[in-house]
Structure 1
Amino acid sequence: MLLGTIPFGGHVELRGGRLLELVPETLEDFLDPGTRGTTPILFDHDPADPVGWLTAVKTKHHRLLIYGDLNDTYPRARAAERLIRSGTMRGLSPRVIVRDDDRMYAPTGAWGRGLVASVPEVSVVWRPRITGAAWQVG
C-alpha cells in the first residue's frame, strides 16, 4: 500500500548544521531492494512504538514513494492510520544515518567521495523536518 512521499531536491539537516541533499544518489542504501521488510515504521521515532514495516521505496517524478504495511498487532497502528487519514497527523520523517563512501556520481559518470544516507526507519510525526514529506495512506 502506498503510504506517503518524500520530495527530492530538499535537504536533511545533519548534526553540526551540515545539510544532506535528498537525491537518489545519496539515498542509494534506502532504495536497495534487499532492505525491504527490515525498515520499521515508528510512531514519532520511538523504537518502542512500531506501527508497521516498509515493503518498497520507489522514485517517481522527483519524489520517493514509500510503500508499506501498518500492522494492527502494534498498539498505535490503528491510531496512526486514523490520524493520517483524517489529516491530523501526516508528517513523514526519515531517520538518516550518513556515511562517507566511494560511489559513482550519476550526473558525471565519475567516481568520487561522497555522502551516502542509510535510512534505518521512517516515522509518523506531527511536523516533518523535510518540507512536503507526508503520509497519505492510499
Structure 2
Amino acid sequence: MKVSTRGEYALRALILLGQHPNVIPIAEISEKTLVPVNYLEQILLQLKHLGYVKSKRGIRGGYILRKSPEQIVIGQVIRQLEGPLAPMGCVSVTAYDPCPLEEKCLLKPLWTLIRDTVSQLLENTTLNDLLEDQISIPEGSMKLK
C-alpha cells in the first residue's frame, strides 16, 4: 500500500483544520500545508462529500472540521481516498484479486501480515491521536537516513 499525494495532502489539511476551531480560508490552508490551491480544492470537496469537513461561503469563508478529531479514523480516511490497504490484491479484504500462484505462494503470509499490521495501526489511529502527538516510533525500528 502506498499513500498518494492526495491521501497525504488530505491528512495535512485535516490536521491543520483540527488545530483550529474556526473556519480557515482555503488560501491559508494551502499556504500552511504546502498544497497547491487548485489541488486542495478538489481534496477538500472530496473530504466534504465524505462528511469530514464543511465549508462556509463568503468573505469569511473557508473550511472547518465537521466531525470531532476523535471521530476521524485515519484508516477510514485513507481507505475512502486511496482504496484498499492491502499491499497485494490476493490478500485484500475489500478488493480481492485472485492469483494463479496463490495456493502455493510463499509470499502470501507476508503480504497478509503487512496488510493486518498496517490496517490495525491505521484503524486504531484517530486525527486526535495525531494532534496530541500520540504516535511514537518504537525503539529498534528502522530509521531512514
Structure number having the greater helix percentage? 2
Q: Which has the larger radius of gyration?
A: 2
Q: Which has the higher contact order (CA 8 A, sep 6+)?
A: 1
The two structures have a TM-score, normalised by structure 2, of: 0.24
Instruction: Name the TM-score, length of structure 1 as normaliser.
Output: 0.25
